Structure 1
Amino acid sequence: MDPISIILWPIKWVIELLLVAFHAMWSAFGLDPAAGLTWVLSIVGLVIVVRAALIPIFVRQIKSQRRMLEVAPQLKKIQDKYKGKRDQFSREAMSRETMELYRKTGTNPLSSCLPLLLQMPIFFGLFSVLNDAQNSKVGVGFLNENLARQFGDATLFGVAPLHDTFVGTSSWEVRVVAVVMIVLMTASQFITQLQIVSKNMAPEAKNSPMFRQQRILLYILPLVFAVSGVSFPLGVMFYWLTSNFWTMGQQFLVIRNMPTPGSDAAKAREARLAKKGKLPKGETTEAEVIVAPKPAQRQQPVGKNRAKKSGAKK
């Protein structure tokens, strides 16, 4: 057994457990055990369990992003300090000071990628399970010969086998389903990143390396899905599409209810709370701060004689 198989073995075991458990549940509800819809719903159940388990990681990610926002001004000072200096000594000093700042503040610029990275072994595990099922190969745990054959032969809408890929089939039905799913995967990923970049970043953060990383991810991740999606089995794409929808909804709720301080989303939340009269005491919306009038200086009335004297002096 190769090293990758050894790493994926426990992941595949858990995936098979969840798939078979949800498959048994949907079958008990009267769905056809061999139908593609039953297996797709089982994959959706797998996503819900996995993403629910990742919620603590997501909360840590939000907290880390908050800390990154707090250190953004200090990062800007370090960048300004070495601005225009391209010699090796300056680059090393800048890198050393940046890493020291991350260490002292407990921040990590790569924390936003952590949930995605943690899902990758599950993604490859599911890919491996589907690939084995395609060949009616018995799984490592709960996916016995009968279930493996059902999974491998399951078709969506009766025309699109879950193990088929866009590049590995001559069926136009499979290709239509694959293209629709690739478009949805790409769009959902782009919208999720766009929510962060356009609404949930404070002005200070937009001058930091974190903002540049988010801007890169805004275009890179959807492009990855668009290019690599043509080789994904439909079953794997259902997992990733459902996971993207979960992320998009989760991100929307976080931005709406726990926005980054100073961001456009935070201002919108303050405006909503103020409109409902629920803004906590001591807090004011930015609009109220801007339009607060300054007290006008009172001018003393000038008598006629004093006015004439003043005119004569001129």
Structure 2
Amino acid sequence: MDDQNKNLILASILSLLVIIIWTVLFPAAETDLPADTVTTTASAPAGDTALTPGSAGGEVSTETTAPAEPLPESAARVAVETPSVTGSISLRGGRLDELALNNYRESLDPGAEIVTLLNPTGSASPYYALFGWAPGTGLNSDSVPGANTLWSVESGETLTPESPVTLLWENGQGLTFRREISVDAKYMFTIRQTVENTGDAAPVLAPYGIIARHGEPADLKNFFILHEGAVQMADGELNEIDYDDFEGAGNHTPLKVATNGWTGFTDHYWMTTLIPRGETGFDLSTFQDPRRNIYQTTVKQPAITLEPGQTAEATTQLFAGAKEWETIRNYQNKGGVDKFLDSIDWGWFFFLTKPIFALLHWLNQQIGNMGWSIIALTLIIKLVLLPLAYKSYVSMAKMKELQPQMEKIKERAGDDRQALQKEMMALYKKEKVNPASGCLPILLQIPIFFSLYKVIFVTLELRHAPWIGWIRDLSAPDPSSLYNLWGLLPWNAPEPGSLLALIFIGILPLLLGISMWLQQKLNPAPTDPTQKMVFAWMPWIFMFMLGSFASGLVVYWIANNTITFTQQYAIMRSQGYKPDVFGNIKSGFKRTRKTDDKK
């Protein structure tokens, strides 16, 4: 077997092997599961609230204590209304525990509910943010506001971008606590906590913020290409913690952050993040309370000794919303949130995924359609790679021209592998052909394919993004199906991910198979019958394997194959070859060279 065919087969088999493993071991995740119904009127029992920082040794410590017994009555709420979110703040604990994302629906179905991000305790999936002060010297847990403290409203009726809300609580021991909450038009809340000392003592206390999640998310994907769980930035270092890797409460070691950082929970498309503000560092703790199955992440700022007559304050921001690339970039570049774009899971190929998505996003802004933007992106990638691919395509055209001579050499050599190899190398040298160069375009496509797959699967901008006609969601598989003649017959297509859906493919996978087959026809065919059969079946195997992949990825591959075919066809003609659409060469390299020699 010559080196050219070895490399082609190796690259193709590796690609096919990766796709088979992905499909079998990690089936395509459903992108839009309906949210569980939640109850928003339940009060919060103590056993169902997050652990709040406690004290030890006269100083504010990193240990945790269970919250106090709850008050029996339900607490009033303060409404939250912005262009991007709707929800409410419970006066019990001052918790932000009801939040829905106005601009996103659970599915494309008519009348689908808007996406719910935060839920109160007592609901099916509690998920909320808490703020307070940890007690130190001169204080106990009853002297500071905690998870079940009943606050009153000092100012403001509804939290909007134009009107902040201030909550008030007095401990009866000379300390007055206030919590001013403001929000912008997107997803960033700012919580400014103050404490005023009107007593005679000088207590020690420390401000903290908590995000707590009861149990794992109902729509957890558990897909290896996507990180779901805790995400942290600590002094420039990104940490990602899967739910399986959370340490137990009391066994965890707080992380000391010297300057900048943030911590929170990330889902497929949504995120909550605590961002401490101030010139000092903070402690970051992420752990699970296994007894109550509560995951939480906490930031605690340095302890303050509050002298009589003094007022102390601490500010923490809370991002709670959709992982929109442009919004998060603005919070990073204009809001000073250190490396906030890294909260999006760019993966190992971040050096490719980041620029690829930035370019795709820019194209979408210019074109206004993500499907056409993917095609435009493919064209740009192919133009960038053209100088590298040019010689490869020329070499592959020459190899195709030499197929008859290679067949004759194989017949002469018979089973003598050494003689076959020697004559093949002599032929390559005589005709100045590099058999390995034809593999370069295929190898270059592998990391780009992985990176684009990551971008399409992970980024929110592809979610529910339409293209043309029946393609209403580029992050989901092609919904059309041969099973109902692509909608012509009066029954529904098979459910995505089912065996029938893999067999009765849609229009896009079918076009993919045809484009791969045509593009393959321009490449030199293997001389070995077994290899030739493998190559003949490969486009159709890929067609079925990719049928359950995101439509956006299939659109990319179709565009890539079409552009590659066009480039290769044009280059072959520029070198004196005249292939038809099926790759058959009518006149070629050898005859052109002889004509030139006569001149």
TM category (shorter chain) comes to 0.5 to 0.7
Pick which of 172-181 and 240-249 moved more: 172-181
How far 1:240 moved relative to its partner?
A: 0.7
Pick which of 155-164 and 113-122 moved more: 155-164
**Structure 1: distance between partners of 2:531 and 2:563:** 19
In the alignment, structure 1 residue 55 sits paired with structure 2 residue 376: no
Confirm or deny: 8 A CA contact 1:155 1:161 kept in the other structure: yes
User: Structure 1 residues 50, 223: CA separation in 2 closer, same or farther (over 3 Å shift)?
Assistant: same
Question: Tell me, what secondary structure is at the counterpart of 2:586?
Answer: helix
**Structure 2: distance between partners of 1:261 and 1:163:** 40
User: Structure 1 residues 102, 259: CA separation in 2 closer, same or farther (over 3 Å shift)?
Assistant: closer
**Structure 2: distance between partners of 1:260 and 1:217:** 26
What amino acid sits opposite 2:382 in the alignment?
R
Of 451, 459, 463, the match for 1:125: 451
**Structure 2: distance between partners of 1:119 and 1:215:** 22
Confirm or deny: 8 A CA contact 2:572 2:578 kept in the other structure: no
User: Structure 1 residues 41, 212: CA separation in 2 closer, same or farther (over 3 Å shift)?
Assistant: same
In the alignment, structure 1 residue 192 sits paired with structure 2 residue 523: no
Aligned to 1:165: 477
TM-score normalised per structure 1 = 0.56
Question: Tell me, what secondary structure is at the counterpart of 1:266?
Answer: coil
**Structure 1: distance between partners of 2:379 and 2:421:** 40
Of 357, 362, 366, the match for 1:21: 362
User: Structure 1 residues 210, 15: CA separation in 2 closer, same or farther (over 3 Å shift)?
Assistant: farther
Matches within 5 A, 1:291-302: none
User: Structure 1 residues 259, 231: CA separation in 2 closer, same or farther (over 3 Å shift)?
Assistant: farther
Aligned to 1:139: none
**Structure 1: distance between partners of 2:529 and 2:575:** 22
Aligned to 1:224: 541
Of 440, 460, 463, the match for 1:152: 463
Confirm or deny: 8 A CA contact 2:401 2:585 kept in the other structure: no
Confirm or deny: 8 A CA contact 1:193 1:217 kept in the other structure: no
Pick which of 43-52 and 173-182 moved more: 173-182
Confirm or deny: 8 A CA contact 1:190 1:218 kept in the other structure: no
Aligned to 2:509: 182
How far 1:124 moved relative to its partner?
A: 1.2
Of 374, 396, 417, the match for 1:43: 374
Aligned to 1:109: 435
Count of residues in Structure 1 that have an aligned counterpart in Structure 2: 229
Confirm or deny: 8 A CA contact 2:477 2:548 kept in the other structure: yes
Confirm or deny: 8 A CA contact 2:390 2:571 kept in the other structure: no
Question: Tell me, what secondary structure is at the counterpart of 2:371?
Answer: helix
User: Structure 1 residues 11, 234: CA separation in 2 closer, same or farther (over 3 Å shift)?
Assistant: same
Deviations 1:154-179 (A, max 9, x none): 23448631111259x9x849979961
User: Structure 1 residues 63, 227: CA separation in 2 closer, same or farther (over 3 Å shift)?
Assistant: same
What amino acid sits opposite 1:164 in the alignment?
A
**Structure 2: distance between partners of 1:217 and 1:152:** 36
How far 1:108 moved relative to its partner?
A: 3.8
What amino acid sits opposite 1:22 in the alignment?
L
User: Structure 1 residues 76, 252: CA separation in 2 closer, same or farther (over 3 Å shift)?
Assistant: closer
How far 1:182 moved relative to its partner?
A: 1.1
Deviations 1:151-204 (A, max 9, x none): 22323448631111259x9x849979961111111112222333x37xxx8xxx
Gaps of 5+ in 1: 32-37, 134-147, 271-278, 284-314
Which protein is richer in strand relative to its size?
2
**Structure 2: distance between partners of 1:217 and 1:50:** 29
What amino acid sits opposite 1:50 in the alignment?
I
Question: Tell me, what secondary structure is at the counterpart of 1:154?
Answer: coil
In the alignment, structure 1 residue 241 sits paired with structure 2 residue 558: yes
**Structure 1: distance between partners of 2:378 and 2:512:** 15
Gaps of 5+ in 2: 1-238, 241-345, 482-491
TM-score normalised per structure 2 = 0.32
User: Structure 1 residues 178, 49: CA separation in 2 closer, same or farther (over 3 Å shift)?
Assistant: farther
Confirm or deny: 8 A CA contact 1:159 1:173 kept in the other structure: no
In the alignment, structure 1 residue 266 sits paired with structure 2 residue 587: yes
**Structure 1: distance between partners of 2:512 and 2:434:** 27
Confirm or deny: 8 A CA contact 1:256 1:265 kept in the other structure: no
User: Structure 1 residues 16, 224: CA separation in 2 closer, same or farther (over 3 Å shift)?
Assistant: same
Higher relative contact order (CA 8 A, sep 6+): 1
User: Structure 1 residues 66, 165: CA separation in 2 closer, same or farther (over 3 Å shift)?
Assistant: closer
Which protein is richer in helix relative to its size?
1
User: Structure 1 residues 126, 266: CA separation in 2 closer, same or farther (over 3 Å shift)?
Assistant: same
What amino acid sits opposite 2:546 in the alignment?
G
User: Structure 1 residues 20, 100: CA separation in 2 closer, same or farther (over 3 Å shift)?
Assistant: same
Pick which of 74-83 and 53-62 moved more: 74-83
